[in-house]
Amino acid sequence: MFLTHQRYTWFTNAAGAPYSAFATESHNVHRLRRGALNPFFSKQSILALEPFLHKQVGLLVDGMKRQMDVSEPFDFGAAYMSLALDTVSYYCFGEAECWNCLKTPGFDGEWKEAMITAFESSRLIRYIPWCTVPLQKLRWQTLYAIDKTVGLYFKAGEVSPRIHVPMSICQC
């Protein structure tokens, strides 16, 4: 028999996405939501992604060579983040929606900073969850003009209206 536990609301609020698997308080609802993602991580699904991954690793190596040729420091964190973001955006939304961070000179280090800032901000959002509500009313471009990392974070969140989530998964 496995022990189950409920998550605290203050902890799950940090995601800012109440219907995500991460933001689920109930263990049973979390299992249901997580189960909806299982087909994306099957061996067959991952093997189908392999040609794309080979191409992306090639772009990563090319970028490393370019930076070596001009004797610039290499930011492994930005490179890894770019590889991860390109892989996730391609896998979730297709080639047309791939963010192509690896094709950006320097591997788009802004995304690395945006992700770090998002994790740092989650501490505040956990205790003051309403602070994201006014920000969500603004366009990501406006937020980007004020603070690049916050703008990029909300740009990433803009894809959520295009995602269809069955209500049976959301409200159990």
In tens, the pLDDT along 69-85 reads 888 788 888 899 999 98
For residue 137, being part of any structural domain is answered with yes
Confidence class for position 135, pLDDT limits 50, 70, 90: confident
For residue 149, being part of any structural domain is answered with yes
Q: What is the pLDDT of residue 115?
A: 78
Q: What is the pLDDT of residue 164?
A: 45
From residue 101, alpha-carbon distances to 10, 46, 53, 87 in Å are: 33, 21, 14, 10
For residue 129, being part of any structural domain is answered with yes
Comparing 25-34, 84-93, 104-113, 151-160, the range with the smallest average pLDDT is 151-160
Mean pLDDT throughout 143-149? 79
For residue 124, being part of any structural domain is answered with yes
For residue 98, pLDDT over 50 is answered with yes
Q: What is the pLDDT of residue 109?
A: 78
Tell me how far apart the alpha carbons of residues 12 and 8 are, in angstroms, rounded to a whole number: 6
For residue 18, being part of any structural domain is answered with no
For the chain, how many residues are written? 172
What's the structural domain count of the chain? 1
For residue 2, being part of any structural domain is answered with no
- Which residues lie closer than 8 Å to 100 by C-beta, 6 or more apart? 86
Confidence class for position 158, pLDDT limits 50, 70, 90: low
For residue 53, pLDDT over 80 is answered with yes
Highest-confidence segment of 10-24, 79-93, 100-114: 79-93
Q: What is the pLDDT of residue 61?
A: 93
- What pLDDT, in 10s, does the model give residues 58-73? 999 998 888 888 887 8
Tokens of 1: 């028999």
Tell me how far apart the alpha carbons of residues 130 and 102 are, in angstroms, rounded to a whole number: 35
For residue 81, being part of any structural domain is answered with yes
Q: What is the pLDDT of residue 13?
A: 63
Q: What is the DSSP letter of 161?
A: G
CB atoms within 10 A of CB 167: 8
Confidence class for position 14, pLDDT limits 50, 70, 90: low
Structural domain harbouring 33: 24-170
With vertex at residue 16, the alpha carbon angle to CA 11 and CA 19, rounded to the nearest 5 degrees, is 90
Tokens of 101: 């961070």
The residue ranges of DSSP E strands in the chain, in sequence order, are: none
For residue 30, being part of any structural domain is answered with yes
- Going by C-alpha positions, the residue among 55, 44, 43 that lies closest to residue 87 is 55
pTM over cut 0.95: no
